[in-house]
């Protein structure tokens, strides 16, 4: 380990179980010397094992609905009190689509479901940053990171309205990141990760096919959840102080590929 986050404080949203990128990021942040608060929605906490992670990383858990300003204000106030000062990093690892869960086709979207997923997956990021900004809760040169997926730019039919949510999430990162950078010297970025077999990801129809295809297309293969955690730590560290407003592809090169030899071989008739 490198002590990259020694003395740094933060909040990590979205750790559900050992498959979660947020879970692995918390483990790595702890290894690199950070202290942090863990948070998730109460219903997600009942489904997951966050208390196990808290014990492992000597962290406290503060339940919060990321769509509730009141909950977020309470979270930030308690976190800065528990941690003994302003924050240096925040990870937003939250995503949910009721349309996906209910297997509603994109062309037949239930718009009440759409609004709920949009609020949880994207608008919550604006709300988190709004509370942090208004409370002046981030230290200068702090880092805020959200996780996204390339369906924000390209068509993956079965990703459904989560593609729209991720596109909006990335726009929020850029727009709010401008103000956070100009006014607070805080950087805001998104990581566009390879398809990863997390609990949430596996809810998408055809997800195994996503993973297999991306593996064959990517020169370096798919990035794992553990590797994403490592990359996230680098963005929390002082080594990336001037990186902001970026959507950073962490996908083994998939995002720049047109076609790979291994995919072509599948279609070429002998």
Residue ranges for the known binding site are: 14, 20-21, 94, 166
Where residue 141 falls (left for φ over 0; alpha for ψ -120 to 50; beta otherwise) is left
Distance of alpha carbon 178 from the chain centroid: 19
DSSP assignment letter at 149: -
Rounded CA separation 49/226 (Å)? 18
Dist CA 214 CA 159 (whole Å):
14
The answer to whether the CB of 128 falls within 8 A of the CB of 90 is yes
Any idea what DSSP says for residue 121? I
φ, ψ of residue 268 to 5 degrees: the values are: -75, 130
Write out the two tokens for 204. Answer: 């998408």
Taking the CA atoms of residue 23, residue 25, residue 30 and residue 36 in that order, the dihedral angle to the nearest 10 degrees is: -80
Q: Write out the catalytic residue numbers.
A: 149, 159
Beta strand pairing call for 138-148 and 87-92: parallel
How far is the CA of 170 from the CAs of 32, 125, 247, in angstroms? 27, 10, 7
Report the distance separating Cα 226 and Cα 244, nearest Å.
23
State the binding site for NAD(+).
14, 20-21, 94, 166
β-bridge pairing 35-39 and 60-61: parallel
């Amino acid at each position: 380990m490198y002590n990259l986050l020694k003395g740094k404080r933060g909040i990590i949203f979205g750790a559900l179980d050992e498959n979660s990128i947020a879970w692995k990021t918390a483990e790595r942040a702890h290894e690199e010397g950070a202290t942090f608060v863990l948070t998730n929605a109460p219903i997600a906490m009942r489904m997951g094992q966050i208390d196990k992670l808290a014990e492992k990383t000597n962290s406290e858990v503060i339940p919060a609905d990321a769509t509730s300003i009141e909950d977020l204000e309470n979270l930030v106030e308690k976190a800065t009190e528990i941690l003994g000062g302003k924050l240096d990093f925040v990870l937003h690892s939250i995503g949910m689509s009721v349309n996906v869960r209910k297997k509603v086709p994109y062309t037949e979207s239930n718009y009440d479901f759409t609004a709920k997923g949009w609020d949880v997956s994207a608008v919550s990021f604006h709300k988190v940053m709004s509370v942090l900004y208004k409370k002046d809760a981030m230290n200068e040169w702090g880092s805020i990171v959200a996780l996204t997926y390339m369906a924000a730019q390209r068509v993956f039919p079965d990703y459904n309205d989560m593609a729209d949510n991720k596109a909006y999430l990335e726009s929020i990162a850029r727009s709010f990141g401008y103000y956070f950078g100009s006014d607070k010297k805080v950087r805001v970025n998104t990581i566009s990760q390879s398809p990863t077999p997390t609990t949430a990801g596996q809810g998408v129809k055809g997800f195994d096919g996503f993973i297999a295809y991306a593996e064959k297309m990517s020169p370096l293969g798919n990035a794992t959840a553990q590797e994403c955690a490592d990359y996230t730590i680098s963005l929390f560290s002082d080594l990336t102080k001037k990186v902001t407003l970026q959507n950073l592809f962490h996908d083994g090169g998939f995002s720049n590929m047109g076609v790979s030899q291994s995919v072509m071989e599948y279609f070429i008739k002998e």
